[in-house]
Structure 1
Amino acid sequence: MQCEGDKTYDEIGTCPVCKMDLKQLENDSKALETNEISEESIFNLTSKWHTEEGNEIVLEDLKGKTLVMVMIYTSCKAACPRLVADMRNIEAQIPAENIKNVQFALVSIDPETDTPERLKAFAIENAMDGEQWTFLQGTDSGVREFANVLSVKYKEISPIDFSHSNIISVFNSRGELKHQQEGLGVNNKETIETILELTK
């Protein structure tokens, strides 16, 4: 029964019109392509990271969800608390049915200080220890490489202080950059719209 003509769906399930089971198309090259990583994807970066839980991952392990990422450091007293508040504000505006397809990742620019244990404590302190939140500690070179991809600039001013860009980035499930929000406490309407578009 052709309810919706040639319409296809990305996920296995049932037809919303006739409730029949959807079948996978044979040799569907378009479907195969969606799992491939493009040259623009951050998943091409091979550096290793530690999560706040102490697990070692590569960025490709985050594939499959819309990623909302920001670079911070936990001892920051100025901009980072505002960036964290912005991230929480974005999360609060995403409906429950979309949030399951979103991963919020906070990447430390101070990997020496921000150990997995410290990141875990910071996550708990800021009520960001749900499964939709991930904190990442990398190597100096891995952090620098990632920052370059995001056009985030940062510089150590003293052993406990950095100057840095204030950018929140949104990536699709294949790790391709789709939107960036720059500044502190800025209007996040476009950021929210991008996330909703990518998770519908």
Structure 2
Amino acid sequence: MQKWKILIGISCLCVLLAACGKTTNFKAEKDIEIQNFQYTNHENKTVTLDDLQGKPWLALFIFTSCTTVCQPMMANMADIQDALKEKGIEDYRIVGFSVDPEVDTPKKLANYLKNYEVADESKWDLLTGYTQQDIEKLAVKSFQTLVKKTEGEDQVTHGTSFALVNQQGHVVKTYSGFTDVPKDEIVVDVESIIQDSK
């Protein structure tokens, strides 16, 4: 009789542990509401904040003539997408904001994306179609990051973080996007935020 009690107790414990394993409970570190926008992507299609609602997305700031941080950042994001694909995670977007919109046309951004072996281009939106002042304001107000182009120069100063945006359009976490990128953590967070919404 005692053995049966022990076995039942162990079985109950296993069930409880299994249930606990399914609980993801993503912990937001930020809550920054993104201001509404209507921009143009690399396929020359209009993309609004409303279009991105309902799915989490990863955001980054890049430009096509960047000679320093942008190429590693794009490669890191492509690696993250590879890892998401390996885990079968599909319900997300990747959004790159050009910080040099007067130079970066949709065609230039489309050609730029082709430089990287991305697992699924359909999940990417490289955005342009706004003024320099617009992107500098959006960066500060919606992502708490810097974008600054000095007149007469072809390089743009900008932040190198990746931002995780939730299904409601709020930045909830940021990560290094250039060096020491926590790729596994980002994948887990994207998976968790999707699971928590179900």
TM-score tier by shorter-chain length is 0.7 to 0.9
- The higher-RCO structure (CA 8 Å, 6+ apart) is 2
Matches within 5 A, 1:130-169: 130-140=121-131, 141-148=133-140, 149-157=142-150, 158-169=152-163
Q: How many residues align?
A: 160
- Contact 2:148–2:156 at 8 Å: present in 1 too? yes
Residue number in structure 2 paired with 1:41 = 33
**TM-score relative to the length of structure 2:** 0.73
What is the Cα-based RMSD across aligned positions, in Å?
Answer: 2.0
Matches within 5 A, 1:1-200: 40-42=32-34, 45-95=35-85, 98-128=88-118, 130-140=121-131, 141-148=133-140, 149-157=142-150, 158-182=152-176, 184-188=178-182, 189-200=184-195
SS at structure 1 position matched to 2:114: helix
Percent sequence identity is: 22
Higher helix share: 2
SS at structure 1 position matched to 2:97: strand
Give the letter aligned to residue 123 of structure 2. Q
**TM-score relative to the length of structure 1:** 0.72
Larger deviation, residues 67-76 vs 146-155: 146-155
- CA distance in structure 2 between the partners assigned to 1:102 and 1:144 by the alignment: 25
